[in-house]
Structures are given as C-alpha cells and as structure tokens.
Amino acid sequence: MIRRILLHPDPRLRLLCQPVLAVDDAVRGLVSDLFDSMYDASGRGLAAPQIGVVQRVFVMDTAWKQGAPDPAVFINPEILSASAEQQVNEEGCLSIPDMPMRVARPAEITVMWLDETGVQRRGAFDGFAAACICHECDHLDGRLILDHEAAA
C-alpha cells in the first residue's frame, strides 16, 4: 500500500527509531508499504520514519532506475566499520523534495542487518549504495541531509 511520505519539518522525522524485536508479518507488511511508496515516489531508498513508523527498517533499490530492480531490505542495520576515505554524492531525499545536496560520506562501509525473513546478513558496500545506506541509517536516528555540511 502506498503511504504518504512525511515532509520536513515534520517532527516525526526527528525521532530516534526503535529496534525491531521480531521480524513478523507486521514488519513484512511495513516493508511492502515502504517498497510501494518508494517506487511510487521514484526514489531509491525509503526509511520507516518517513511514513511515520518509528522502527529501524529501510528499503533500498539503487538499480531500478537504470535497469532491473534490485530490492534490498534492512532491518536493525548497524554500520560496523567505515573507511576513512570519503566520497561526495549529490543526495536527494523524498522528505525534502527537489532540494538535492552534496554530502560527504565514507567511501566504503561494512554493515550488519536482518533481512525480511529475520536472517542476519553482513555485507560490504561502496559507491552510491554505501551513501544510500548511510543516508537511510541517518533517518533511523532522526538525522537529515540538512544536518550535514554541504560538501564542495
């Protein structure tokens, strides 16, 4: 189901999201709504607080705009390590429409998370995917791109 995406400065975008205790059908319903809402809004990532759910869940698909979809679900994500090397990407945010901003992020990260079946996963990411994961993890802590200094 397509849900309304909250817009900055909605205070619900600033809440600290709670960990998911059990990956059940309610969480899978949330994941399904996140994908519906993200694709409808033509985005590449969407976090639960952006549809008013204060839980540590986000979805991402960095590929679908260029070709085949590559949907990924992150529940209780944790960034385990981040490279000292930074990269700068122009990031958009569905909660701050039409105001892309250049943000510096770690060039490489390793992440641990649960997938939609509750299985623990671990992976390394770089490039746009790394930036997207950092952006969505920020949302789970109530942080927005506006909180970063604009990068040159």
How many CB atoms lie under 10 A from the CB of residue 60? 25
Among residues 85 and 98, whose Cβ is nearest to Zn ion? Answer: 98
Exposure string of 94-127, with b = 16+ CB inside 10 Å and e = fewer, is bbbeeeebebebbbbbebebbebeeeeeeeebee
Query: Whole-number minimum distance, CB 68 to Zn ion, in Å?
Result: 23
Query: Whole-number minimum distance, CB 145 to Zn ion, in Å?
Result: 7
In this structure, are strands 72-82 and 108-114 parallel, antiparallel, or unpaired? Answer: antiparallel
Query: Whole-number minimum distance, CB 91 to Zn ion, in Å?
Result: 8
Quick one: DSSP state of residue 142? Answer: T
Residue 136 annotated among the catalytic residues of the structure? yes
By three-state DSSP, how is residue 103 classified? strand
Amino acid at 41: A
Among residues 24 and 90, whose Cβ is nearest to Zn ion? Answer: 90
Among residues 63 and 96, whose Cβ is nearest to Zn ion? Answer: 96
- Name the token pair of 88: 């700068």
Query: Whole-number minimum distance, CB 137 to Zn ion, in Å?
Result: 11
**Residue with CB nearest Zn ion?**
93
Which of 85, 90, 108, 136 does the annotation list as catalytic?
Answer: 136
| Residue 85, strand partner residues | none
Binding site for Zn ion (CB under 5 A): 93
* Terminal Cα-to-Cα distance of the chain (whole angstroms): 39
Among residues 93 and 134, whose Cβ is nearest to Zn ion? Answer: 93
Residues with a catalytic annotation lie at 136
